[in-house]
Amino acid sequence: MNTDEREVSETANKNKIRPDTILKTFWRDNEHFADLFNAALFGGEQVLKPHDLTEVDTDVSSMLKFNGHAETVQKILDVVKKTAYGVDFVIWGLENQSRIHYAMPLRHMVGDAFSYLKEYDEIAAGNRQDKTFQTSDEFLSNFKKTDRLHPVISLCVYYGENEWDGPFSLKDMLEIPEKIKPLVSDYRMNLIQVRSSESLRFSNPDVNTVFDVSRSIYERDYAKIRDVYRDKELPSDLGLVIGAITESQQLINHALESEQKGGQVNMCNALEELKLEGRLEGKQEGIEEGILANIRTCKNFNISKEDAIRNLMKEFSLSEPEAVSYVKKYW
């Protein structure tokens, strides 16, 4: 083991930081948080302004009472922000998810309901203390006719490599007879997937880089990482986030090690050291074998070179010069 490998190993042994902690820290930054929600929910329009966001308690645990029975139910969100709209405000909640959860819409619905219940309890407590109820109905409700709750908007960010095949709404989780479908209330969650986020319009360069590099790692597109990031040094905290998203403890350790040496990470060097390049090149070798087999089949069936080129372009998403080059090489 050389000196660098020993230092990384020692960092790994000392490192107790959890990936979810890294992600929560990244999204607590108002610039990152606002850009994520603007890209995911507003098509990149700058609706949320970073300077308008304030931190809110993430614990929305509550006591549920029913028929004389009381039970405390715990629910803690990952990041919660509040933003003002005139004299009112909106609550924005973020939940990080690294695995497919087949009850996720229900989890989100419960989390939002607890957020509303928490605000109701606060308003009710104030009303009881002030004793300014105008009617007996207000007294029984602990809620005045003019009282209003504030909107809660939640977003789930799914970081997994596999495509989300779970439900997107409460109705997706239910077996509903056709006759009563219109009568059943639905709850649809907001979800984005890192692996298929190329259409999102990010404005913040940190958020865009984190999604772009993570997506390229999932796609094993090392050529893109090499071409785009060869001469770019990324801040070590972005390396940490990319490592957390892709669940690479080695990348997290390397980012921490780089932080001690100056705070910059070269993604090309990092991926080479982690031997991801070998896995990516292995996939490229498999593609080459497929192209070779395709060309041999065309040749054996007396298909013209022109048709073989067109077939390669279609089957392997190649440009015409690339397809021509392969036909010249293997014909």
pLDDT in tens, 250-300: 788 878 887 777 777 877 777 766 555 444 555 556 677 778 887 887 787
Report domain extents, the chain.
3-201, 283-330
Q: How many residues does the chain have?
A: 331
Backbone dihedral angles phi then psi of residue 223, each to the nearest 5 degrees: -60, -40
Distance, in Å, from the CA atom of 61 to the CA atom of 111, rounded to the nearest integer, reads: 9
Which is higher by pLDDT, 134 or 248? Answer: 134
Would you state the pLDDT for residue 42?
94
Nearest alpha carbon to residue 39 among 245, 234, 198, 153: 198
Average pLDDT, the chain: 82
Pull the structure tokens for residue 245: 């998203």
Tens digit of pLDDT for each residue in 34-43?
Answer: 999 999 999 9
Cα distance between residue 296 and residue 278, in whole Å: 27
Q: State the pTM of this model.
A: 0.73
Better pLDDT: 197 or 230 = 197
Answer yes or no: is pLDDT of 13 > 60.
Answer: no
| E-strand stretches of the chain | 53-55, 62-66, 69-73, 79-85, 88-97, 152-158, 190-193, 234-235, 264-265
Is residue 224 very low, low, confident or very high in pLDDT (cuts 50, 70, 90)? confident
pLDDT at res. 102 = 94
Whether residue 65 is predicted with pLDDT greater than 60 in this model: the reply is no
Q: Is the pLDDT of residue 200 over 50?
A: yes
The band of 10, judged by pLDDT with boundaries at 50, 70 and 90, is very low
Task: Give the span between the Cα atoms of 264 and 259, in whole angstroms.
Answer: 6
**Most trustworthy range by pLDDT among 5-14, 65-74, 109-118:** 109-118
Q: In angstroms, rounded to a whole number, what is the distance separating the alpha carbons of residues 123 and 57?
A: 16
Sign of the C-alpha dihedral, residues 129, 134, 139, 144?
A: negative
pLDDT (0 to 100) of residue 274: 59
Mean pLDDT computed over 194-212: 94
Instruction: Sort strands 264-265 and 79-85 into parallel, antiparallel or unpaired.
Output: unpaired
Mean pLDDT of 26-40: 95
